[in-house]
Amino acid sequence: MQNITLRDIAKVLNLSVSTVSRALTDSYQIGDKTKKLVLEYAKAHNYVPNRMARGLKEGKSRSIGVVVCSIDNSFVSQMLDGIDHFCTANDYQLIIMQSKENFEQEKSCIHLLYAGGIDGLLISPTYQTTDFEYLKQLQNDGLPIVLFDRLSEHIDTHKVAVDNFNGAYNAVAHLIKNGYQTIAHINSESKLNLTTDRFEGYKKALSDHNIAYNEDLVKFCNTNNLNESLEIAIEQLMSLAKKPDAIFTATDQISTKSLAVLNQLNYKIPQDIALIGFSNTDLANVFNPALSTIHQPAFEIGSLAAKQLLHLIEHKNEVIFETILLDTELQSRASTKPRA
Amino acid sequence: MQNITLRDIAKVLNLSVSTVSRALTDSYQIGDKTKKLVLEYAKAHNYVPNRMARGLKEGKSRSIGVVVCSIDNSFVSQMLDGIDHFCTANDYQLIIMQSKENFEQEKSCIHLLYAGGIDGLLISPTYQTTDFEYLKQLQNDGLPIVLFDRLSEHIDTHKVAVDNFNGAYNAVAHLIKNGYQTIAHINSESKLNLTTDRFEGYKKALSDHNIAYNEDLVKFCNTNNLNESLEIAIEQLMSLAKKPDAIFTATDQISTKSLAVLNQLNYKIPQDIALIGFSNTDLANVFNPALSTIHQPAFEIGSLAAKQLLHLIEHKNEVIFETILLDTELQSRASTKPRA
DNA sequence: AACACTAACTAAAACCTTTTAGTAAATCAA
DNA sequence: TTGATTTACTAAAAGGTTTTAGTTAGTGTT
């Protein structure tokens, strides 16, 4: 099973191990004939450097850890695609772990990854996460960390996400422009920027259009028990004295499930109630009705975050952290058609 | 940044490196007092063995490679979830790579993974893949390999997937039972078992119900250019002299996109044409109309495949390979309502 | 007292790479 | 011809772990 090693090549060609190593890295110290000889032999015998040995020697593993809530989430997997794309292009391996929206499991993932010797960490924290001390400690120990999608102010590092405030603002402004006036908002229960920014965007759009904010129209759902808490939220909204004529939903999961719940309750969309939400599904056109969405450049978020992390790994001394916010895109479909 | 090493502990406690190593692995050769001393010091100073060093020494990495067509595919990501679950529970790390349905890229992924020193490989080949010589060579070199979801007879190893023949048979039988007679079939262009088994299941269901097979009703689409080739296929089907009254689609992508195309062409489903297909989307209920599906136990496929692989890694001598086929589930919805 | 045996430890090699610090031979300047 | 420089190579160490092959001190047997 064993792969061929430098020593094997050296023995056959009657050279020293160091010469072979240098020939393969095209060092100026080695003559052209020797280089050619070694290169050809290595190629012919399919030599590949042992990653463990190299990693041990260099104190690097050329692998990065990624912690996400769940691989099994279309938006997340789109970001992972972007991360993978950039890392593969730069010869870094990806080790992906899932927090399953559970803070304890998130800590455990991070610990395992760190112990496994990753060169850097890409993390999108759980909605529960409020304590960033653990991450800050690793950061102080020299581990490069980049936050993506779900950001927090409690840790200072590179961060990549979309402009959630503007995305939310545009969604609500779009509803208002199309004649909707009583706009509800369903968000996830969390202290992350993502949540608060989208909420703030909602409020700002209302106030900019002279619509009074009404807290009865705003619901925060428990992500760990979404089905049930969302049904309750929607039923509460629809039994208000002054019923909403539109809903702006803040996450992918909430958007699609709200559509399901509203359909099940036999509301006509958008006649009875309009719906727009953050979502990256490529099936929005197939929905009943086609769903208006705020679309995020998921692939770009991932690849940019990876780019920032690899830069951090290779230039550890630089400490000017930046936060990159990409633009969202409003995709208008049947679920928010202008009111007749 | 550097983690504490065995040598550090040895120096502080005035012991040899080997004693410390043995104390930590609870060897009988070390006295109880010494063991306790070492264990406490290691714990207090958060010692974690260097994965590279251990990997180098043992010739193992405790990591496995996974090659899939694309992370960004809900069915794939559900399987990855299962794989991750089992591997994490058994302290193996996952290195995921994407072939993007391209055979050359698949080979490149496998090569990178092998060079990276994985202990085993989990692979779901591209639809293009017909040549398994490369994999067989690695297998002969001692690399444990398990095929999942997309199987082939050209390599002998553990395999995990669903019973595609039966899944397809049930879908078509369901259509017939509900009164549909002229049943088209859209599949992906490939030589993999998955493709042929689903095609065979379709044919068998027809013949068992005394419906003549008509090759005009069967289309194989190019997965790398699905949008266009699918549109052409559907237009051809719908312009036949004897139009189909139902379509059975063979893959997740084809199923959802067919729905989109049929909607766009303004066909009423199921009145003009019924639709059922393999798909694992959890949004089938939200579609227009709700889509009948053949659902696969994706998580179980993944975790079982991982289980088989880890077993293979830890018992390399055993060579009785098995193929596990799980059952599919028919989920009947509006798109295949019984004909009036 | 001589010997075998065990308990508790250690020194050093091995895994494979990269890199530091050299060496030997050839070339060049004076 | 001497001394300096360049070219093309090598020996050996380092990185952290596990493991082989010891060593030493102490106990038990006769």
- A123 min Cα distance to partner chain B (Å): 17
Q: What is the pLDDT of residues A41-92, one digit of tens each?
A: 999 998 989 989 999 999 888 899 999 999 989 999 999 999 999 998 888 8
Query: What Å value separates CA B44 and C1' C7?
Result: 28
pLDDT at A131 > cutoff 70:
yes
pLDDT at A48: 86
pLDDT at A330 > cutoff 50:
yes
Chain A interface mutation, best of B60, B62, B71, B257, highest count of A Cβ atoms under 10 Å: B71
pLDDT tens digit at each of 340 positions of chain B: 468 999 999 999 999 999 999 999 999 999 999 999 999 999 999 898 998 999 999 988 889 999 999 999 999 999 999 999 999 888 788 999 999 999 999 998 998 888 778 999 999 999 999 999 999 988 988 899 999 999 999 999 999 999 999 999 999 999 999 999 999 999 999 989 999 999 999 999 999 999 999 999 999 999 889 999 999 999 999 999 999 999 999 999 999 999 999 999 999 999 999 999 999 999 999 999 999 999 999 999 999 999 999 999 988 777 799 999 999 999 999 999 999 7
Q: Nearest by CB to A51, from B49, B50, B116: name it.
A: B116
Q: Nearest by CB to B286, from A2, A72, A256: name it.
A: A256
Distances from the Cα of B300 to the Cα of A151, B79, B86, B121, B280, angstroms: 33, 7, 10, 18, 13
- Burial class of residue A214, CB neighbours in 10 A (0-12, 13-18, 19+): middle
Determine the angle formed by the axes of helices B32-44 and B17-24, rounding to 10 degrees.
90
pLDDT at B2: 60
Answer whether B236's CB lies under 8 Å from B302's CB. no
Say yes or no: Cβ of A46 under 7 A from any atom of strand C: no
Tell me how far apart the alpha carbons of residues A135 and A124 are, in angstroms, rounded to a whole number. 12
Domains in chain A with CATH codes:
6-49 (no CATH), 61-161+298-325 (3.40.50.2300), 164-297+330-336 (3.40.50.2300)
pLDDT at A2: 60
- Burial class of residue A32, CB neighbours in 10 A (0-12, 13-18, 19+): exposed
Length of chain A as a residue count: 340
A-chain residues within 8 Å CB-CB of B259? 286
Tell me how far apart the alpha carbons of residues B143 and B120 are, in angstroms, rounded to a whole number. 6
Q: Per residue, what are the HEC states of A63-103? A: EEEEEECCCCCHHHHHHHHHHHHHHHHCCCEEEEEECCCCH
Looking at residue A232, its amino acid is I
Tell me how far apart the alpha carbons of residues B285 and B337 are, in angstroms, rounded to a whole number. 14
Partnered with residue B214 across adjacent β-strands are none
pLDDT at A1: 45
Tell me how far apart the alpha carbons of residues A154 and A300 are, in angstroms, rounded to a whole number. 24
Answer whether B55's CB lies under 8 Å from A63's CB. no
Say yes or no: Cβ of B89 under 7 A from any atom of strand C: no
- A282 min Cα distance to partner chain B (Å): 10
Residues with Cβ within 8 Å of A135's Cβ and at least 6 positions away in sequence, in order, are A110, A121, A123, A145, A155
* Residue A93 phi, psi (nearest 5): -95, 150
Other C-beta atoms closer than 10 Å to the C-beta of B205 total 23
Looking at residue A242, its amino acid is K
Tell me how far apart the alpha carbons of residues B60 and B313 are, in angstroms, rounded to a whole number. 10
Radius of gyration of chain B measured on its C-alpha atoms: 26
Say yes or no: Cβ of B57 under 7 A from any atom of strand C: yes
CB contact under 8 A, B97 and A77: no
* Residue A34 phi, psi (nearest 5): -60, -45
pLDDT at A162 > cutoff 70:
yes
pTM: 0.88
The gap between the terminal CA atoms of chain A, to the nearest Å, is 72
Query: What Å value separates CA B10 and C1' C11?
Result: 14
pLDDT at A317: 72
pLDDT at B157: 96
Radius of gyration of chain A measured on its C-alpha atoms: 26
Length of chain B as a residue count: 340
* Residue A120 phi, psi (nearest 5): -170, 165
Q: Which residue of A has its CA nearest to B142?
A: A1
Name the region of B91 (left: φ>0; alpha: ψ -120 to 50; beta: rest). Answer: left
Which residue's entry shows tokens 């999961």? A253
B-proximal residues of A, 181-200, CB under 8 Å: none
Chain A interface mutation, best of B45, B74, B286, highest count of A Cβ atoms under 10 Å: B286
Answer whether A262's CB lies under 8 Å from A43's CB. no
Which DSSP symbol is given to A284? G
pLDDT at A267: 97
Answer whether A83's CB lies under 8 Å from A301's CB. no
Q: What is the pLDDT of residues A214-247, one digit of tens each?
A: 999 999 999 889 999 999 999 999 999 999 999 9
